Amino acid sequence: MLTLIAFVVALGILITVHEYGHYRVAVACGIKVLKFSIGFGRPLYTWRLKNKPTEFAICMLPLGGYVKMLDEREAPVDAGERHLAFNTQPLKSRAAVVAAGPIANLLLAVLLYAVVNWSGLQEPKAVLASPVAGSLAERAGLRGHETVQQAAFTGDDLQTVRSFEDLRWRLTQGALNGRDLMLLLGGDADASKRTVLLELSKLGAIDADAQLFRKIGILGPWTKPVIGDVMVGSAAEKSGLKAGDVVERIGDIAIVDGQQLREAIRTSARSLVGGAGVIAPQRWQVLRAGQPLVLQLTPEVKQEGGAAVARIGAYVGAPPEFVTVRYGLFDGLWQGAVRTSEVSLLTLRMMGKMVIGEVSLKNLSGPLTIADYAGKSASLGWSAYLLFLALISVSLGVLNLLPLPVLDGGHLMYYLWEGITGRGVSDAWMDRLQRGGVAILLGMMCVALFNDVTRLLG
C-alpha cells in the first residue's frame, strides 16, 4: 500500500508541476487556457476559479496531464478572441509556453534538493572500507580505514567530500564519463595526508551497477568487524560466535573492517571444486568483552545466481559512522542547482551513449521500477523520498526536452525550424514526424517495461 501511495503522490506532484509550468506561462503570454487536467479519462473532480475561463480537472488515469489552450487548429475561434489563441502568438511566446513544462520540473528538482540540503541529511562518513582484492582501489594503494577529505577530477580543483554518498556520486560520474579521480586522504588523527589517483577512465564503464563498484573496489563505508544477530542453528551459532564479538583474524588474515570480513566469508567457497564439497574449519580469533578468544567455524555453502557462496548465518559488520550534511540558505540552493545540473548532464550522456550503443538499454526504467523505488524511498523517510522525487523530476524534465516530435522538445524543434526558415513545418512533414516520434516513444516504453519485469522477476 505504501508503494502505491508513494507512486501516485509522486506522479501527482510531478505532473502537476509540469502542466502548471505550461499553464502559468500561457496565461502570462495572454493565451486563453480552456482546461487544465491532471490525468486522463473520466473526470473525478472539476472546478473553476472565480472570473477565470479555465476548467481544472482531476481525472481517473493519473498517468499524465494536459493544458488545453484556445487554438484555431483544433476548433473555430471567434474573431474577437483570435488574439487569445495559441497559434496566433509570436514564436517566442509559443516556444516559452512549450519549454515551461520541462523547465518547471528542473526547477522543482532544484528546490527539492535545496530543501534536503537545508534540513540536513544523515549520511555515512567518507571513511573507506578495505578495497576488493585486485580492484582499481587496491592497485591505487588504498588499504581501508582512510578518510576521504577532498576529491577532484583530473584538471579540476579539489572539493570537500562531505559524506560517503558524495564520494559514491563522484565515483559514478567519473566511471561513466571516463574521468580519473584524485582523492586527498586524511586517515587517523596522527596520520599524514596523502593523495591517490583512481584511474576510472581505464574501466570503460557502461553501467552504474554493483559490478562497477566491485571493479572500482569501493563497496561501502568503513564499519567495525563486529558480529550482530546470530541465527539459531547457523554455522555461527554452532561455532560459539555471539553478538558483539569483534573479529580480529580468520586464519592468517588480519580483519580490519566489516567489508573485509564479509568478503572473506563470501569467498570461502572459491576453494571448492565446482562449488561442491565442504569448507574446511576456519580458525577465528575474536574479542569478546575485551578478552581474546579462538573459535573453529565452518561456513555453509549456498548457491546464489549460479555461484557457490559461503554464509555463516549472522549479521556481519556494525552500522557505519554517520555525519549530518547540512547547508546554509544560499549554499543549499546553489548545491541544489549544481546537483540538478550534474544529474541532467549525466542523464543526457547516458541517453546519448544508449543511442550509439556504448551503454546498455538495461538502464532504461519504466513505471514498475519507479513505483518500487517510490515505496522504498518513502519507507526510509521524507528526505529519501524528496531525493527520489528530485531525481525523477530531473529525468522527466530532460526526457521532455528530447527532440522527439511527440514531446515538448519536438515542438521546440519545429519552432527552431520556423525561426531559421521563417515558415512552419508543413502538415505532411508534421504527420510523418509525429508517427515516427510515437513509434520511437512506444519502443522506449516497451524496452523500459521489459527491463522492469526482468528486474522484478530476477
- What is the grid cell recorded at 162? 562531505
Q: Tell me the DSSP string of 347-410.
A: HHHHHHHHHHTSS-GGG---HHHHHHHHHHHHHH-HHHHHHHHHHHHHHHHHHHTSS-TTSHHH
In whole angstroms, give the CA distance from residue 176 to residue 73. 45
Cβ atoms 267, 250 nearer than 8 A: no
Q: Which of 23, 97, 108, 103 is nearest to 66 (CA)?
A: 23
Cα angle 290, 295, 300; round to 5: 125
Q: Report pLDDT for 148.
A: 93
Q: Which helix or strand (DSSP H or E) is residue 118 part of? A: helix 91-119
Q: Which fold has domain 136-216?
A: Pdz3 Domain (2.30.42)
Q: Which residues pair with 56 in a beta bridge?
A: 36, 47
Report helix, strand and coil shares of the chain as percent, to nearest 5: 50, 20, 30
**Whole-number Cα distances in Å, 317 to 13, 246, 258, 424, 443:** 39, 9, 4, 64, 44
What is the DSSP secondary structure assignment for residue 82, as one 8-state letter?
G
Cα dist from 225 to 27, 322, 448, whole Å:
61, 17, 40
Task: Please calculate the CA angle 431-437-439 and round it to the nearest 5 degrees.
Answer: 105
Amino acid letter for position 56 = F
CA distance 172 to 345: 13
Establish whether domains 136-216 and 227-318 are of one fold: yes
- Please tell me which residue in 19, 123, 146, 263 is annotated as part of the active site: 19
Residue 284, strand partner residues? 250, 295
Q: List Cβ neighbours of 326 (8 Å cut-off, separation of 6 or more).
A: 117, 118, 119, 120, 121, 332
Is 19 catalytic? The answer is: yes
Per the structure block, which three cell numbers stand in for 196? Answer: 591517490
Cα separation values, 29 from 16, 69, 112, Å: 20, 12, 28
Closest by Cα among 302, 304, 314, 301 to 258 = 314
Per-residue pLDDT at 273: 45
Domain 227-318, CATH class in plain words? mainly beta
pTM as predicted = 0.79
Residue linked to cell 583474524: 249
**pLDDT number for residue 274:** 47
**Segment-wise mean pLDDT, segments of 10 residues, the chain, 458 residues:** 83 92 94 91 87 88 86 85 89 93 95 94 89 89 89 90 91 87 76 84 73 86 90 88 90 86 78 56 89 88 73 86 90 93 85 72 72 81 90 91 86 87 78 78 77 70
The CA-based angle 6-209-229, given to 5 degrees, is: 70
Distance CA 46, CA 34 (A): 13
Query: Bridge-partner residues for 33, per DSSP?
Result: 69
pLDDT at 191: 55
Amino acid at 396: L
- What is the pLDDT at residue 253? 84
Nearest alpha carbon to residue 218 among 281, 288, 283, 138: 138
Sketch the domain layout of the chain as residue ranges: 91-120+328-458, 136-216, 227-318
Grid-cell match 527491463, residue found: 451
> Do 99 and 374 contact (CB within 8 A), yes or no?
no
Determine the pLDDT at residue 442: 79
